[in-house]
């Protein structure tokens, strides 16, 4: 049986992790609500949608391979005119990477893109579009796996990716997205590059995306 001080220490760490997670979620939701308020006050053509897709992420400047992830969430679009718009969203996105050295990671972020774009109509219900702009992301979970030697044996170790001595839990970068829309259904490709260094002052998030969005 573990000593009581170890049990208390574990409970305190779990409590602090939950508190940090709630703060990140609250901050992301407040930022997104601020964007929504700005859209609503503009009083123009506003529409809401749901989105989801596949990520093909990696980290630059390190010898790593892509690891398949996902993205899903809600989007909002404000149309300045039939041809120009601004869009944002609140997305849960999984990034990550693998390495030949046995290290892998699958971090989860709450992400808020803020894009400006243009649309060209090909008919009554068909159009093509492109958009670009910055994004903010807050790390909310995910694990890192690696191997280390204990008493001469190779042992797999799992740690929180955004632990006390883990990766940077904030990411800021630039993204772009392009695709086709048919009757309020968008099929799109995208790419994001993070300006913030992820681990030990090296490496940037790099992410190719393919997805589907439905606007109500």
pLDDT tens per residue, range 94-150: 998 888 777 888 999 999 999 999 999 998 899 999 999 999 999 999 988 887 777
Structure tokens at 117: 């774009």
CA distances from 82 to 42, 44, 69, 102 (A): 16, 11, 33, 50
Asked if the structure places residue 10 within a domain, the reply is: no
The pLDDT, as a whole number, for residue 146 is: 81
Asked if the structure places residue 79 within a domain, the reply is: yes
Asked if the structure places residue 153 within a domain, the reply is: yes
Asked if the structure places residue 1 within a domain, the reply is: no
Once rounded to an integer, what is the mean pLDDT over residues 72-98? 93
Q: In what order do the strands lie in the sheet with 97-98?
A: 65-66, 97-98, 104-105, 143-150, 153-160
Q: Where are the beta strands (DSSP E) in 21-169?
A: 45-59, 65-66, 69-79, 84-94, 97-98, 104-105, 108-121, 126-141, 143-150, 153-160
CATH number at residue 158: 2.40.160.20
List the end-to-end C-alpha distance of the chain, in Å, as a whole number.
56
Asked if the structure places residue 7 within a domain, the reply is: no
Domain range for residue 174? 16-215
Structure tokens at 211: 């997805």
Q: How many domains does the chain have?
A: 1
The pLDDT, as a whole number, for residue 207 is: 97
Asked if the structure places residue 80 within a domain, the reply is: yes
The pLDDT, as a whole number, for residue 83 is: 95
CA distances from 110 to 18, 76, 141 (A): 15, 16, 10
Q: How confident is the model at residue 162 (pLDDT cuts 50, 70, 90)?
A: confident
Once rounded to an integer, what is the mean pLDDT over residues 66-82? 93
Report the b/e string of 135-165 with b at 16+ CB within 10 A: bbbbbbbbbbeeeeeeeeeeeeeeebbbeee
Q: What average pLDDT does the structure give for the chain?
A: 85
H or E stretch covering 142: none
Asked if the structure places residue 2 within a domain, the reply is: no
pTM comes to: 0.82
User: 24-54: per-residue pLDDT in tens?
Assistant: 677 777 777 777 666 666 666 889 999 999 9
The pLDDT, as a whole number, for residue 63 is: 81
Whole-number percent of the chain with pLDDT over 90 = 50
Asked if the structure places residue 11 within a domain, the reply is: no
């Amino acid at each position: 049986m573990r000593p009581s001080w170890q049990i208390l220490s574990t409970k305190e760490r779990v409590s602090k992790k939950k508190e940090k997670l709630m703060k990140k979620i609250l901050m992301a939701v407040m930022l997104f609500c601020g964007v929504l308020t700005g859209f609503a006050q503009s009083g123009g053509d506003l529409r809401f949608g749901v989105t989801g897709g596949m990520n093909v992420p990696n980290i630059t400047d390190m010898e790593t391979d892509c690891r398949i992830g996902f993205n899903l969430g809600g989007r909002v679009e404000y149309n300045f005119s039939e041809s120009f718009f601004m869009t944002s969203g609140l997305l849960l996105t999984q990034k990550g990477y693998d390495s030949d050295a046995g290290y892998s990671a699958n971090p989860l972020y709450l992400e808020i893109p803020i894009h400006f774009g243009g649309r060209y109509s090909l008919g009554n219900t068909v159009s093509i579009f492109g958009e670009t702009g910055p994004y903010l992301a807050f790390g909310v979970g995910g694990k890192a796996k690696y191997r280390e030697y204990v008493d001469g044996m190779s042992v797999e170790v799992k740690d929180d990716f955004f632990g006390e001595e883990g990766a940077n839990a904030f990411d800021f970068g630039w993204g772009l997205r392009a695709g086709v829309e048919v009757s309020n259904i968008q099929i799109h490709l995208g790419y994001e590059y993070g300006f913030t260094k992820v681990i030990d002052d090296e490496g940037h998030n790099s992410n190719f995306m393919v997805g589907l969005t439905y606007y109500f």
